[in-house]
Amino acid sequence: MISLILRRLATAIPVLLAVITLTFFMVHSAPGGPFDEEKAVSPEVLIKLNERYNLNEPLMVQYFDYLGNVLQGDFGPSFRYPSRSVTELISIGLPITFELALYAILFALMLGIIAGVVSSLRPNTAYDYIPMTVAMAGICIPSIILGPSLTLIFGIWLNWLPVTGWGDIPGDKILPTITLGTAYAAYCARLTRGGMLEILNQDFIRTARAKGLSEFRVVVVHALRGGLTPVIAFLGPAMAGLLAGSFVVETIFGIPGLGRFYVEAAFNRDYTMILGTSIFFSCLIIAFNLLSDLVAASLNPRLRDQ
Amino acid sequence: MNTSSSSLTKKAFERLFSNKLSLFGGIYILLLITLAIITPLIAPYDYAYQDLSLGPVGPTTDHLLGTDTLGRDLLTRMLYGSRISLMVGFLATMVALVIGVLWGAIAGFLGGRVDAIMMRIVDILYGIPFIILIILLMVIFGRNLVLLFMAIGAVEWLTMSRIVRSQVMSLSQQEFVLAAEAMGVSKKDIISRHLIPNAIGPVIVYATLTVPQIMLLEAFLSFLGLGVQAPMSSWGLLIRDGAVSMEEYWWLLVFPSLAFSLTLFSLNFIGDGLRDALDPRTGPN
Amino acid sequence: MKQINIVSLFLVLILSACGGTESKVDSALEEQILYFGNGTEPKDLDPHTVTGVPESHILMALLEGLVIRHPEGLDPLPGVASSWDISEDGKTYTFNLRDTAVWSNGDPVTASDFVWAWERMLTPSLGSKYPDMLYDVVNAEEFNIGVITDFTKVGVKALSSKQLLVKLNNPAPYFLGLLAHYTTRPVHRPTIEKFGEIDTLGSPWTRPGNFIGNGPFTLKEWQLNKVLKVKKNSLYWNAEQVKLNEIHFFPVDNATREDLMFRNGLLHVTSTVPLEKVPVYSKKYPDLLHIDPYYGTYYLRVNVNKEPFDNKLVRKALSLSINRQEIVENVSKGGQIPAFSFTPPDPNSYYPPTSLEFNPELARSLLDEARLSKEKVPTFELLYNTSEGHQKLAQAIQQMWKENLNIDVQLTNTDWKVYLSRQSIGDYSIARAGWIGDYVDPKTFLDMMVTGRGNNQTGWSNSEYDRLLVKAAQSPSQEERFKNFYKAEEILIDELPIIPIYTYTRIYMLNQDVKGWAPNLLDTHPFQFVYLER
């Protein structure tokens, strides 16, 4: 296990460095200076602002300065909100996005695993076709369609659920969670089905059944452990998708999370924010990939040598 | 090709066609592509034509799917939008395919240090969250359509290369390859004439499943306002316009959403069908 | 097991629907909390560095200047200054500050507070974007561009702790109105100096807990992208007039979502109304939809340094082929008025004798005359910043130029920053633009087009125009001033480096509980006069 962790970390560090370098140079080659407002800025002022944001140095010097700062956790001040640092903005938005992602993944796992298990127990029957087709629908109706549609049906026409806010009105977390989590529920269902089918065909299951154990025990106690491996392995890459999904869902529902900050930063050319958040997201994804690899390996010892 | 592989191919096709969902998907996609190609001939209106005094109206005989707030015919915009969405999807997949196949084949066949370095690069690039990369690219270089699909393709090739590499690695050990090597066929020819054609199966499956991923990505970007811009249309843009006006003008959301979802459905079913056809273990569905 | 899942989901749905039939707006009546839809998240709360409308709303609650805007748009009311004297020649103002004006921590508001605030505003290294608001003051411009460095030479002095003297370059009839603008308000020196120097950027003095203001409200809470709350300042000199207990500013930048929030009783007033809903609401909720005249012009900026726009006839042809009536009726649909001058006209006051007609035939003949032997006008780009409304307008104009002049136009939309930067460096052909006056006077519009001014950006320079504006500044009477301004407008409308499209309107939804809210040209609604009652 330790060697697995070490090997993963060894890959992670060059990745992080590549991300920082790539994003730094990309962002700095962008057109559109960061200081243009409705009233044009005078040259003396421009000099002062450039100084504050360290834009007067040659690019390579800026890069190494930035690298040094990042290693100490300092991403610099935001351009869009001059009196706030990027780190502060991240710490404001992150808990909200994290909560949204958490609810979405729990929803996805709950719904998906149950659906996948049910369909794997009776393959090629209605118990199989129906959940799998619904799952396919979940994948093919993306959040950009699902979000507005759910809002229209449950929020406006039926007026059952609130359609804006996060934590202001009871129930306002339901629609965003469902919108974000549905596609992942679908993937979880399909993966669970596949994983369970593979396990259920194996000898030790037949043995357990022959021994007279109840179906419940066979499935939950013996099969599930191995059958869930694909889902667990999926969780890592799912994080990347959830993060991307949060951009859209937070925009649709007006949730003040990190995803929304990021999209806003992209529109406003808030360079430091774009840089800082990109690097931060990469760290998160790397960490989650590592975590899911570890959990999968602990559940299924055969994976430990990879 | 020897006889055993052609009967395998035949079996694969048989399985594919018996899968009703894949068939439906295939027909729908072919129809869509045909419509997209002949759009300039059949579109009822010019794609930028506005009828300001008409404004948004529901489906009528003049406008089969209705109009939007500027009086533009929705059917026309959907047809032109499908061209863009499909083009982005297929072309980006093409780019990903070419780069991925070449990269994976070379790495898998040459092995050793070259392979290690090449796959190391893939691992590193894999770690970069690609949605972020795409957004950065769009922010920096503007909303250039060509750039859009090149950027997406340049990100999607990674998994493709991994698949090809593992395929090629197992194929390299087979007799016909060893024979070709012994006969002095150049490495380049071995890769292009023997390895790639035989590794193509899983690649095609993955490519078919990549197209809807890419279309989804383009729709996301356009929805956020970072993708295709007016007066051009793409499905993502149409869905966004629809979402804004969905309360009063439901057709602006419903029709593009249906078309888009059906397309994703079809492509996924085809991909699933292909995968099942080529790999008998997983069984129907 | 799957069935239990569905049942529990339904239970949750039903339970949540049952909770709370009283909306926020209902309970606000008792609590006297105003829920204000404020557009984009404010960048900061420093009156000397911000420029946006959302910020100005919040600053209206937190800081008070020498005078206050009149809630109905009439002459300014006394604010920190309880009275003032203006000299015969109109160039010297003496303000008497009231004894009861204090900061929210009890410190008295003194004349030196104003002097120091104006010094900060004009300090070049602070990078204020609005220093020209004070350029009428003697030596203010010279100090701001660094010609002089001694602020004591600038025409503002504290005669005593409660008497402020201001000396102007020219008589300026609009000056009192200008003094209501947030850029001229005082700031609390000890707080700012606690966190840095007079010109330190990005210090945390504007955070809740640090911010000290002298307005009717104080800063209570600030959650980025969520809500900003202010509460009544009990030390405000006119606290008994203030009936609201709190104001919650919501940074909702999506018009559709803001509309939903209003209809669900979460907002009393919105910042805008989605375009498609305007005709619907004018029939369905005529009492809630407000369309007020607004002191602003929507126009196109033309880069006269680029061919073929260097030719006046081409610019005229472009203007003549725009059907402004059709645009305001079918595109913007918000009761806007087709423009016929640059400065929005006022039938009771300033009314330029200019006109902009729709005449495609004349347009074509002018274009032919201009182009003579050359072929058709090459495709050029129309630039606008990403927004649904601007997009619709751009597409409409693109269509009109195609139909009437057979010119192909490519639409480019970029985000706000790139849009601004491209114009400021002259990298554009024609760009959409809008200007809202800072105070009600033609100067705030016409000054923009003076040679080389920061917001000109067209490259247009006309010495006669510049001369007329200087003459207007020195005119002894308002009548004289307007005469000179009219002549300047005529030049502008003849030359058309900017092509006006329409006069803005303010379109928003207002809950009927909101009282003390009167429409006015600058759309300012001082919160000390606003209250909730049903």
Decide if B53 and C326 are in contact by the 8 Å CB cutoff: yes
Chains within contact range of chain C (3+ C-beta pairs < 8 Å)? A, B
Closest C-alpha to A163, from C261, C255, B248: C261
Check whether A95 has a pLDDT greater than 60. yes
Quick one: average pLDDT of C443-447? Answer: 92
Region of A304 (left: φ > 0; alpha: ψ -120 to 50; beta: rest) is: alpha
Q: ipTM above 0.90? A: no
Instruction: Compute and round to an integer the Cα radius of gyration of chain A.
Output: 24
Q: Is residue C342 over pLDDT 50? A: yes
Single out the residue of A185, A37, B81, A92 nearest to residue C385, CA to CA.
Answer: A37
- Cα separation, B137 vs A26, whole angstroms: 8
Residues 6 or more apart from C141 whose CB is under 8 A from it? C131, C132, C135
pLDDT value of residue A302: 60
* Cβ count near C351 (within 10 Å): 14
Q: Identify the CA nearest to C56 among candidates C42, C67, C35, C74.
A: C42
pLDDT bin (cut points 50, 70, 90) of residue B18 is low
pLDDT tens figures, A191-221: 888 888 888 888 777 887 788 777 777 777 7
In contact, B193 and B129? CB cutoff 8 Å? no
Residues of A numbered 240-299 whose beta carbons fall under 8 angstroms of chain B's beta carbons: which are they?
240, 243-244, 247-248, 251-252, 262-263, 266-267, 269, 274, 278, 281-282, 285-286, 289
* Distance set, CA C312 to CA C34, C502, C508 (Å): 51, 21, 38
Assigned token pair, C12:
């949750």
C-alpha–C-alpha distance, residues B29 and B20, integer Å: 14
* Other Cβ atoms within 10 Å of C512 Cβ, number: 11
Cβ contacts (< 8 Å) between A140 and chain B: which residues?
212, 261, 264-265, 268
Residue C343 has pLDDT above 90, yes or no: yes
pLDDT at B12 over 70: no
* pLDDT band for position C52 (cuts 50, 70, 90): confident
pLDDT of residue A167 exceeding 70 = yes
Q: Which of B6-20, B157-171, C139-153, C296-310 comes out lowest in average pLDDT?
A: B6-20
CB-CB contact of C531 with C515 (8 Å)? yes
- The CA-atom distances, in angstroms, between B55 and each of B77, B249, C209, C507 are 15, 11, 51, 20
DSSP SS3 for C292: strand
pLDDT tens string C168-199: 998 888 899 899 999 999 999 999 999 998 88
Residue with tokens 């452990």: A225
Residue B168, phi then psi, degrees to nearest 5: -65, -40
Nearest Cβ partner for B69 among C256, C326, C392? C392
The terminus-to-terminus CA distance of chain C in angstroms comes to 51
H or E element at residue C345 = none
Higher pLDDT, B99 or A305: B99
H or E stretch covering A170 = none
In this structure, the strands spanning C156-160 and C163-167 are antiparallel
Could you tell me which chain C residue has the CA closest to the CA of B140?
C418
- C281: confidence class by pLDDT, cuts 50, 70, 90: very high
The C-alpha atoms of residue C209 and residue C224 are separated, in whole angstroms, by 15
- Write the DSSP symbol of residue A30: -
Q: What is the pLDDT of residue C255?
A: 86
pLDDT band for position B230 (cuts 50, 70, 90): low
CB contact under 8 A, C326 and B231: no
DSSP label at C62?
Answer: H
Range of lowest pLDDT (A78-92, B115-129, C225-239, C290-304): B115-129
- What confidence tier does A284 reach under pLDDT thresholds 50, 70, 90? confident
How far is the CA of C26 from the CAs of C31, C268, C290, in angstroms?
Answer: 9, 10, 21
Mean pLDDT, residues B72-83 taken together:
90
Write the residue in C2, C264, C386 that is nearest to A118 by C-beta: C2
Residue corresponding to tokens 């080529």: B278
Q: For position A208, what pLDDT does the model report?
A: 79
- More reliable by pLDDT, A114 or C415: A114
As a whole number of angstroms, the distance between CA C364 and CA C406 comes to 9
Mean pLDDT of B144-154: 74
Give A-chain residues touching C454 at CB under 8 angstroms: 39-40, 42
CB pairs under 8 A between A and C: 144
More confident residue, A28 or C517: C517
Residues A267-277 have a mean pLDDT of 82
User: B157 or A289: whose pLDDT is higher?
Assistant: B157
pTM here is 0.86
* Subunit contact C260:A52, Cβ cutoff 8 A: no
For residue B166, what pLDDT is reported? Answer: 79
Closest CA–CA distance from residue C263 to any residue of chain B (Å): 13
User: At residue C345, does pLDDT exceed 50?
Assistant: yes
| Whether the Cβ atoms of residue C328 and residue C393 lie closer than 8 Å to each other | no
**C-chain residues near B69 (CB < 8 A):** 275-276, 392
**What secondary structure does DSSP assign to B100-115, as a single string?**
HHHHHHHHHHH-HHHH
Where does the pLDDT of residue A102 fall: very low under 50, low under 70, confident under 90, or very high at 90 and above?
very high
A42 pLDDT band, cuts 50/70/90, is low
User: By three-state DSSP, how is residue C180 classified?
Assistant: coil
Of the two residues B90 and B277, the one the predictor is more confident about is B90
Predicted confidence at residue C320, as pLDDT, reads: 95
What mean pLDDT comes out for the span B183-192?
Answer: 79
| A 185-244 residues with CB < 8 A to B | 194, 197, 240, 243-244
* Contact yes or no for C13 and A160 at CB 8 A: yes
What is the overall mean pLDDT for chain A? Answer: 82
| For the ranges A229-238, C384-393, C514-523, the one whose mean pLDDT is highest | C514-523
Main-chain phi, psi angles of A238, to 5 degrees: -65, -35
Query: Partners of C385 in the beta sheet?
Result: C414
Does the pLDDT value for residue B99 go beyond 50?
Answer: yes
Residue C300 scores a pLDDT above 80: yes
Q: Please state, in angstroms and rounded to a whole number, the distance separating the CA atoms of residues C333 and C378.
A: 31
- Measured between beta carbons, which residues in chain C are less than 8 angstroms from residue A44? 124-125, 145-146
Work out the average pLDDT over C436-462. Answer: 89
- Greatest mean pLDDT among C16-25, C53-62, C201-210: C53-62
Residue C43 touches chain A, beta carbons under 8 Å: yes
Q: What is the dihedral of CA C56, C57, C58, C63, to 10 degrees?
A: 70
C277 near B CB under 8 A = yes
Candidates A39, A49, A166, A268, partner chain C, best to mutate (most C CBs within 10 A):
A39
pLDDT of residue C251: 92
- The CA distance from B77 to B228, in Å, is 13
CA dihedral A269, A270, A272, A277 (to 10 degrees): -100
Q: How far apart are CA B32 and CA B79, in angstroms?
A: 9
Please report the beta strands in C15-107, taking only residues with DSSP state E, as ranges in sequence order.
33-37, 67-68, 77-78, 81-86, 92-97
**A126-140 and A174-200 are packed helices; what angle lies between their axes, rounded to 10 degrees?**
140
What integer pLDDT is reported at residue A44 of this predicted model?
64
Nearest CA to C505 out of C441, C436, C432, C446 is that of C436
The answer to whether B127 contacts A123, with C-beta atoms less than 8 Å apart, is: no
Stronger pLDDT, C9 or C189, i.e. the higher one: C189
What is the distance between the alpha carbons of residues C135 and A185, in angstroms, rounded to a whole number?
63
* Chain A stretch 152-181, residues whose beta carbon is closer than 8 A to a beta carbon of chain B: 152, 156
Half-sphere exposure of C145 (CA within 13 A, CB side): 7
- Residue A39 — pLDDT band, cuts 50, 70, 90? very low
Per-residue pLDDT, C532:
94
Quick one: pLDDT at residue C4? 45
C17 touches chain A (CB under 8 A): yes
Q: CB contact, 8 Å: C280 with chain B?
A: yes
pLDDT band at A58 (very low <50, low <70, confident <90, very high): confident
Angle of CA points C219, C220, C226, to nearest 5°: 100
Residues C269 and C283: beta-carbon distance below 8 Å = no
Over range A261-268, report the average pLDDT. 83
Chain A residues close to B123, C-beta within 8 Å: 11, 15
Q: Which pair of structure tokens corresponds to residue C336?
A: 């806007």
What residues of B are in contact with residue C276 (Cβ under 8 Å)?
Answer: 56, 69, 244-245, 248-249
Q: State yes or no: pLDDT of C529 exceeds 60.
A: yes
Answer whether C499's CB lies under 8 Å from C327's CB.
no
Looking at this protein, which amino acid is placed at residue B170? S
Q: Region B73-101: what's the mean pLDDT?
A: 88
B58 falls in which pLDDT band (50, 70, 90)?
Answer: confident
Q: Is the pLDDT of residue C466 over 50?
A: yes
Chain A, residues 28-57, CB within 8 A of chain B, namely 29-31
pLDDT score of B178 more than 70: yes
| Number of CB atoms found within 10 A of residue C319's CB | 23
Predicted local distance difference test score (pLDDT) of residue C100: 94
Interface test with A, best of B22, B132, B218 (most A CBs within 10 A): B132
Q: State whether A52 and C201 contact (CB < 8 Å).
A: yes
Exposure class string for A172-181: b at 16+ Cβ within 10 A, else e: bbbbbbbbbb
Q: Do B238 and B252 form a contact (C-beta atoms < 8 A)?
A: yes
Give the residues across from C532 on adjacent strands.
C514
**Category of B111 on φ-ψ map: left (φ > 0), alpha (ψ -120 to 50) or beta:** left
Instruction: State both tokens at B108.
Output: 């898998």
Q: What is the mean pLDDT of residues C86-104?
A: 94
Residue B9 has what pLDDT?
65
Mean pLDDT value across chain B? 80
CA distance C143 to C122: 7
Q: At residue B283, does pLDDT exceed 50?
A: no
pLDDT at C7: 52
Q: Identify the H or E element spanning A132.
A: helix A126-140
Q: State whether residue A59 sits within 8 Å of chain B by CB.
A: no
C327 vs C127, more confident: C327
